[in-house]
Structure 1
Amino acid sequence: MPLYKSISVNSQTTVKIWKVEESYKDLLEPLDLKPQSLERVLGMKSEIHQRGFLSVRHLLRAFGYTDQDLFYDANGKPHLKDGKHISITHSFTFSGVIVSDKEVGIDIEMQRDKIGVIAEKFVEYEFYYLDKNAEDYIRKLIVIWAIKESLYKLFTTPGMLFKEHFLVIPFMIGDGETVAWIDYKNKKYRYNTAFLEFEGFTCAYVVP
């Protein structure tokens, strides 16, 4: 069972990351899936998506939950039946789940240079401190994207835009943490964020 990493963020919040190494069959066998979850996984065209979906259910088990404890609202945001807050991510060979007493968000991204091509679509304020010629420019862009994706998952409000409504305060890659803001409809919300890199991937998560 490749539970890759477990991070105790604070007394109410834990992150668990899974490295997806098992076959689809080995992941499916020990799980007790709801009929709609089984239908969903069988309908996926890509095995990497199937394995990602199933690895998230293994992470739920690592937290002491089952697939039956998880449900989604009309906006597609996941919830737990016991009232704790949850956020879920998977990217290729890694999956992540964060569970907390407070609203949270998590994202994992594969590190790819092509993010530089779409930077203008999700970066505005951050261009004031980013150096396009710096060695770590792409890595910083991926951190910013992952933080903003985490914020969006936490808030899940249609109409929010990464470029206009989310701000990531200046950081160094070595910091492993920064602060982010949501500025939306004349209200401002502050979040603590953390990020880490491993095996060509970046993970970020946010908590109020």
Structure 2
Amino acid sequence: MLDNINVGAVFLDNHLHIKCYTREAVHLYRLVASDVGRPLSDIKSNIEGEDMLFNAKSVLDTLVPFELKIHTVDGACYLARIQPYRTLDSMINGVVLTFSDISQLVRTQMAENEARELTIGIFDTIHEPLIVLDDELQVITASRSFHNYFQTTEEGTVGRPIYELGQRQWDIPELRGLLENILPKNLVFEGYRVELDFLGIGHRKLV
């Protein structure tokens, strides 16, 4: 039955000896059938930089589950979890180490981050102040020229609703109505003029 589980798992008894393991676990530990009953400390690990045996001892002592991201020597990335397991009569009978392969997810996230950084780099070469909003009118990103022109910071801008920026100068009925009517209908507008007063930089006419 364990061979049908697509997650690497190693079951250890209260002495941290191997009780059983799944087929996927051999990517993390160099296990063979005759290793059942041996201490996990005897088994060569493919995990880089983490002492999983120490973590397993800690979980067995405290009964507090533990989770971390690990890498293997071949470059794979796993989400590792260690938790105590109980018998049917609720007695602690050791710990189980599980390993979920998240390599593809990590690669996707890295690619998305690289694409975002490239977009921001291009965005920052545009001289006009620009700001990008999501469908809830919260700021996704703002160009460097926007921060320079309106004397704002990325920390005080990104993730906030546009109406809450600065001293709420952007919260005017005309702009609110325009934005809230455009986004739901996927419309585009050009040449809209608005005049606002900004603390520290004075009166501005924006198009």
Shorter-chain-normalised TM-score: which range? under 0.3
- What TM-score, normalized by structure 2, do the two folds share? 0.20
In our comparison, the structure showing a higher alpha carbon Rg is 2
TM-score by length of 1: 0.20
